[in-house]
Amino acid sequence: MKGELINNILMMLQKQGIQIDGLHEKLILLFRNVECTPIETSLAIIDETANEHLIKQFVAAKMISGCTERTISFYAKTLMSVMGKINKNIPEITADDVRVYSAGRLVKDKVTKVTVDNEIRVLRSFYAYLCANEIVQKNIMLQIDKMKPDKVKKHSFSEMEVEQIRSVCRNARESAIIELLLSTGCRVSELCQIQIADIQKDKILVHGKGNKDRTVYLNAKAQLAISKYLSQRNDNNPWLFAKGYEFSGRCKANALWWQNPAAVAEGHISKSNIETVVRKLGKKIGVQAYPHKFRRTCATMALRRGMPIEQVSKMLGHEQITTTQIYLDLQEEDLEIAHKKYVT
C-alpha cells in the first residue's frame, strides 16, 4: 500500500511537469515510519433521506432569518452537491473528507479557488447551525483553513472604451442600459428590478443584496438616455427594462421590438439578457465587456475625480470599504497625481 501511494505521488508530480529524479528514494525515507491502511467504505450505508432532511432544516432556518431567495437557492444547491460527492452520512463526515473534496474540486474539476471558498463558506454556516442545534457534537469546519484566492488584477474600462461602447449602441434601450450602469454602478440584479415608479428625476431607489434598499443617482447623460428610451415605450409594463421576445426568436431581427406593445411580455429583463446585450457591444469594439465591469468603472472614475472612498462604498452598497477597494482599478499614474496633490 505504501509503495502504491509513493508511485501515485510520483505520477501526479510527473504529470505536472515536475522533475522526479531522486524523489522516489526521498519519499521512501519520508514514509519509513508511516503505516498506510486503505479506508473501508464498501460497507458504509448512506442515509440520503436523513442528509436531505438536515439540509432542508438548515435552509428553512435561513429562510426564517431573512436570507434572499437567491442566497437560499445557492445554499441548498451547494450542500446537495457537496454531500453527494462526499457520499457519507453528515454526522460521520470529517475535516479530512472536506479537505479531500476541496482538493478534488481544484485538481480534477479545475474550478477556481473562489468557487471552492464559496462552497467552504456554505459548509461553515451549515456546520455552525448543526452544532448550535446539537445535531453534531463537533464543528469540523473549525479545522478547515480559509481558501486564499489567487490575486488577479481586474481592470475597468478606459475612458476611450466607454466612449466607443456608447458609439456602437444600436438604440435608446441599449444606451439607457449602458448609461445607467455607468452612472449608478448598480449590480446587474439591481438594474433588472428597477421599476419606472422607482425613478425620481435624478435618483432611483434600487433593491440591493440582502433586501437592502439604497438610493443611486443619475448624471445628465443617464437621465437623457432613460427619458429618450421611455418616450418610445407604449406598453403598460411597470419595469424599466421590460421582459420581451428579443431572445426567443419572435422578434430576433427587430432591434426595436420593445417599441411594439405586443412584443413586450410580463415581468422584467433577466440578468443573462443584459449580459448578452453588454457582451455584444463589447465584441463590436474588440473588448471583453460584462455588467460588473461597468460597476468597477463607475467606482474607479468616481474616485479618480475626487469622490471619497467612503462615499464610493456607500454608492455601491458595500458594508465595508475593503470590499470597495477590490473594485478599484487605479494605475501608477493615479498615485503619482494624487501624491503631487495631497503630499507636500
Asked if 53 contacts 91 with a C-beta cutoff of 8 angstroms, the reply is no
Closest among 239, 190, 231, 195 to 212, alpha carbons compared: 190
Binned at pLDDT 50, 70 and 90, residue 150 comes out as low
Binned at pLDDT 50, 70 and 90, residue 34 comes out as confident
For 47-152, CATH number out of 1.10.150.130, 1.10.1270.20, 3.40.50.2300, 3.30.365.10 equals 1.10.150.130
pLDDT in the model for residue 40: 57
How far is C-alpha 229 from the chain's CA centre? 29
Binned at pLDDT 50, 70 and 90, residue 344 comes out as very low
Closest among 202, 180, 205 to 274, alpha carbons compared: 180
- 9 has pLDDT over 80: no
Asked if 90 contacts 50 with a C-beta cutoff of 8 angstroms, the reply is yes
Q: What is the mean pLDDT of residues 311-328?
A: 75
Radius of gyration (Cα) for the chain, nearest Å?
26
CA distance 120 to 222: 40
pLDDT in the model for residue 1: 63
Q: What is the mean pLDDT of residues 217-241?
A: 94
Up-side HSE of residue 224: CA atoms within 13 Å toward CB? 3
Stronger pLDDT, 334 or 112, i.e. the higher one:
112
Q: What is the mean pLDDT of residues 61-79?
A: 88
pLDDT in the model for residue 68: 79
Q: Is residue 203 classed exposed, middle or buried when 0-12, 13-18 and 19+ CB atoms within 10 A define those classes? A: middle
Angle of helix 309-316 relative to helix 291-304, nearest 10 degrees? 160
For the chain, give every domain's residue range.
1-38, 47-152, 159-342
Asked if 22 contacts 29 with a C-beta cutoff of 8 angstroms, the reply is no
pTM over 0.85: no
Identity of the amino acid at 207? H
pLDDT tens for each residue of 190-215:
999 999 999 998 999 988 776 778 89
pLDDT tens for each residue of 278-287:
999 999 999 9
CA distance 29 to 103: 25
What are 98's three cell numbers? 472536506
Binned at pLDDT 50, 70 and 90, residue 254 comes out as low
Closest among 228, 233, 217 to 184, alpha carbons compared: 217
Residue showing cell 463589447:
282
Stronger pLDDT, 73 or 308, i.e. the higher one:
73
Q: What homologous superfamily does CATH list for 159-342?
A: Intergrase catalytic core (1.10.443.10)
- 181 has pLDDT over 80: yes
CA distance 283 to 289: 8
